[in-house]
Amino acid sequence: MLDPTIPDPSGKAATRDLERRVEALERANQLMASTIKGGSFRVFDENDNEIVRLGAFDEAGYDGFYVKDAAGTQILGANGVQGFSVPGVTVPCRCNTELVAVTAGTWTTAYTWTIEVVTAIEFRFRVPLTCDVGSTGEVRVYNNTGAAMIGNVKTLASGASEVAQFRATHGLTIGTGPINVLLQAQRTSGAGNVNVYEPSGLWVGANQVPVAGGWV
């Protein structure tokens, strides 16, 4: 016997009400646009790891976006302060030979790169360097557009042989350009050669923590 104190003991009325609500929701206008002010849109995977963020980066103090893979490695990203981080842009080296032997005691340009439009605040490259036994030398990176050295001077001891890496911020504003980057060398003692081999392309990008640096 049904209990008269229970309005709908079978739950049919509640089910019909729920159906009406779902149907009304399905007929309602879809969200075509939305606004987030002072925050960010974030996506997490099934393990609660953040894989996408669009908007404010609280820990870094700037706005932008990034996408990470399952291991947490950033595979796509950009922000208004550093520019594009991933993917970066590789600028080819302008050269006429695979080796420049420098004997002058003044700064001599071995290779050049030209960044037409600055898309990130940092760049890096690698270059093989050797110095003849009995001689020493120096290598530097020079911003020919701004007439200023970038980073520090690298010293080469007698008989040195290495593949050196240079990584630094260039100081230009995102969206400006061009910037003409020179790789220069000079002999500081002896009568031998300071040998600068063809460097890699100039990778223009940015890390979460940019490096002002120089030779590393």
* pLDDT per residue as tens digits for the range 35-79: 777 677 888 888 888 888 888 775 555 678 778 888 888 777 777
99 shares its domain with 173:
yes
Q: 153: how many CB neighbours lie within 10 A of its CB?
A: 14
116 shares its domain with 201:
yes
- 151 close to 213: Cβ distance less than 8 angstroms: yes
71 shares its domain with 170:
no
Q: What pLDDT, on a 0 to 100 scale, did the predictor assign at position 211?
A: 59
Vertex 165 angle, CA 80 and 89, to 5° = 35
User: E strand or H helix at 161, and its extent?
Assistant: strand 161-169
d(CA 133, CA 213): 29
Q: What is the pLDDT of residues 84-134, one digit of tens each?
A: 766 777 888 877 789 999 999 999 999 999 988 888 888 889 999 999 999
Q: What pLDDT, on a 0 to 100 scale, did the predictor assign at position 1?
A: 44
48 shares its domain with 13:
yes
Tell which residue, 113, 110, 159, 112, has the closest CA to residue 137: 159
Q: What pLDDT, on a 0 to 100 scale, did the predictor assign at position 73?
A: 80
Task: Round the average pLDDT of the chain to a whole number and report it.
Answer: 83
Place of tokens 């940019």: 210
- 179 close to 154: Cβ distance less than 8 angstroms: no
Give SS3 for 59.
coil
47-58 exposure pattern, b = at least 16 Cβ within 10 A, e = fewer: eeeebebeebbe
d(CA 110, CA 33): 53
> What CATH number has the domain bearing residue 110?
2.60.120
Which of 92-96, 113-117, 151-155, 175-179 tops mean pLDDT? 151-155
Domain that holds residue 32: 1-81
Q: What is the pLDDT of residues 5-30, one digit of tens each?
A: 556 656 677 788 888 888 887 777 77
Give SS3 for 58.
coil
Q: How many domains does the chain have?
A: 2
Q: Which of 53, 81, 109 represents a domain boundary (last residue)?
A: 81
Q: Which of 64, 81, 98 represents a domain boundary (last residue)?
A: 81
Give SS3 for 193.
coil
138 shares its domain with 35:
no
13-27 exposure pattern, b = at least 16 Cβ within 10 A, e = fewer: eeeeeeeeeeeeeee
